[in-house]
Structure 1
Amino acid sequence: MGRVDYLHDPDAPPANSVVPSVVAFIQNDAGEVLMIKRSDNGRWALPGGGHDVGESISDTVVREVWEETGIKAEVIDLSGIYTDPGHVLAYDDGEVRQQFSMCFRARPAGGEVRTSNETTQVRWVDPTDLPKFDIHPTMRLRIEHAMDRSQLAPYIG
């Protein structure tokens, strides 16, 4: 299933759903960031996905990271909540989601990097190399906020 992200685009289709979702900012001991190349839009992103009924939100983080990357994650804290109604995600099946995403800081706790049906590549990336990657501006914002450990409270916006 393909996906197109619209950010404050007057030609964007109107949203018809809201699905709480998560992304995980994970750094290894070398300071590298776990990144995925999404199979639905070909862009690089933090691993994550939709919250399922019956899960705690931290369980969603752990499940999504495992499913997409093969890495076992331990949630550390919340770095931001993103609810910009001007950011919508249009899927091939007609669903158009209004963004509702929470970014969590996490640490790797085992596993081996692998791809999935949602990822074409998974790799640890040096933060200085991130500008070279095709990353949506809203995902870059999450990464910037998660890297800024001086924040006393999470970003909400």
Structure 2
Amino acid sequence: MTLMDLRRVWGPRPLIAAAVGVLIQDEHGRVLLQRRGDDGLWGEPGGALDAGEDFLTGARRELREETGLTCQGLTLLPVPEGLQDGPELYHRYPNGHEIYIVGRRAHGTLPAAALDGAAPDDSGETLELRWFPLDALPDLSNNANRQSMNVLRARAGLPPLPLAPTPPAPPVGNFLRDLRRVIGHRPWFAPGANVLVNDDRGRLLLLRHGHTRKWTLPGGSLEPGESFAQTAARELFEETGLAAVRLEALEMYAGPEYRLTYPNGDVFDSVSVLYRAHGVTGTLTPQDGEVDEARWFDVDELPAAEELSSPVMRASIQHWKEGQSTRP
């Protein structure tokens, strides 16, 4: 299922799109930009993932489709630098489709002469390709492109570009539930965040979910207009009554190995950012009706893998365990 397939049943209403931006630089530090076919403005190659696709595969596909180029050294930028999220990444396309972009940025280098062999596909998405110095950028299409250019400008010691104003984000609702009413059980992306919370003895907080009876970290699904960090803070408070002075982004888990099929048949491709909570305050109060139990676990007391709620949860807790083993 592609984003355009989803649009046929969802219409122009705001969607959360898991997307990747591809930042290619030449030996002079210039960035490769495409003049877009929809608005005539400039941006980095990239676009929405297809269901079942990971970010690096999507980056390679989008680069090939929109430029005809391949980049052997293409890699995902690390978290948090490589994250795309937040209310600033709202965009309304000329055809009226509204979107909130969340996801990753990939980066690679190609020689300037590679552009001589560029051959975009015939979709009309790319009108022109050109190298631009970071201090002489053209009119950019949207804030996702401006944020990406700001990542590169920060690396080069340049000030950030201002972002365009965006409308207020919609109130928090239940986006995934509403989406499922339209798409049924078909696979689609579920962006969200989870939080590692430790007590003063270094133990990890886990919650037993009231419906699945499986153990999870505090966390949940991202709503339109939220950043991953905002989701983490909101879910942490809703599920536990706790708040953090600072949330440190550690890792993103996404790709086919993190697909989850719920008992009712709904299929989700997880796009999950793991945070560590610092300066935790409040009284632990499990969310009524959602959380049956909250418990602190030492490393040697953690539930077995089959008692954890998802592949993302197993990877996240393994990340915590590995961090514990390296502590002095």
TM-score by length of 2: 0.38
Does 2:304 correspond to 1:126?
no
Provide closer, same or farther for how the CA distance between residues 71 and 86 of structure 1 changes in structure 2, counting only shifts above 3 A: same
Counterpart of 1:140? 314
**Could you list the per-position Cα deviations for residues 76-117 of structure 1 after superposition, in whole angstroms to 9, with x for gaps in the alignment?**
312211113133223466531112111111132223332332
Hey, what's the Cα distance between the residues in 1 that align with 2:230 and 2:318? 24
- Does the CA-based 8 Å contact 1:79-1:146 persist in structure 2? no
Structure number with bigger Rg: 2
Asked which structure has the greater RCO (Cα within 8 Å, sep 6+), the reply is: 1
Counterpart of 1:78? 249
Letter in 1 for 2:281: A
Provide closer, same or farther for how the CA distance between residues 87 and 144 of structure 1 changes in structure 2, counting only shifts above 3 A: closer
Hey, what's the Cα distance between the residues in 1 that align with 2:264 and 2:211? 12
- Does the CA-based 8 Å contact 2:209-2:215 persist in structure 1? yes
Deviation at 1:49, TM superposition (A): 0.4
Consecutive unaligned residues of structure 2, counting only runs of 5 or more, are 1-184
Match of 2:283 among 89, 111, 114: 111
Deviation at 1:37, TM superposition (A): 0.5
- Does the CA-based 8 Å contact 1:69-1:116 persist in structure 2? no
Counterpart of 1:6? none
- Does the CA-based 8 Å contact 1:103-1:146 persist in structure 2? no
- Does the CA-based 8 Å contact 1:15-1:98 persist in structure 2? no
Q: Map 1:23-34; keep pairs closer than 5 Å.
A: 23-34=194-205
Aligned residues: 137
Hey, what's the Cα distance between the residues in 1 that align with 2:310 and 2:231? 23
- The more displaced of 47-56 and 123-132 is 123-132
**Could you list the per-position Cα deviations for residues 95-151 of structure 1 after superposition, in whole angstroms to 9, with x for gaps in the alignment?**
31112111111132223332332211112222221145822573232112134449x
Consecutive unaligned residues of structure 1, counting only runs of 5 or more, are 1-13, 151-157
Match of 1:42 among 201, 210, 213: 213
- Does the CA-based 8 Å contact 2:259-2:267 persist in structure 1? yes
Percentage of identical aligned residues: 29
Match of 1:16 among 179, 187, 193: 187
Hey, what's the Cα distance between the residues in 1 that align with 2:246 and 2:188? 27
Q: Map 1:94-105; keep pairs closer than 5 Å.
A: 94-105=265-276
**Which structure has the highest helix share of the two?**
2
Hey, what's the Cα distance between the residues in 2 that align with 1:121 and 1:105? 21
Q: Provide the alpha-carbon RMSD of the alignment.
A: 2.5
- The more displaced of 96-105 and 109-118 is 109-118
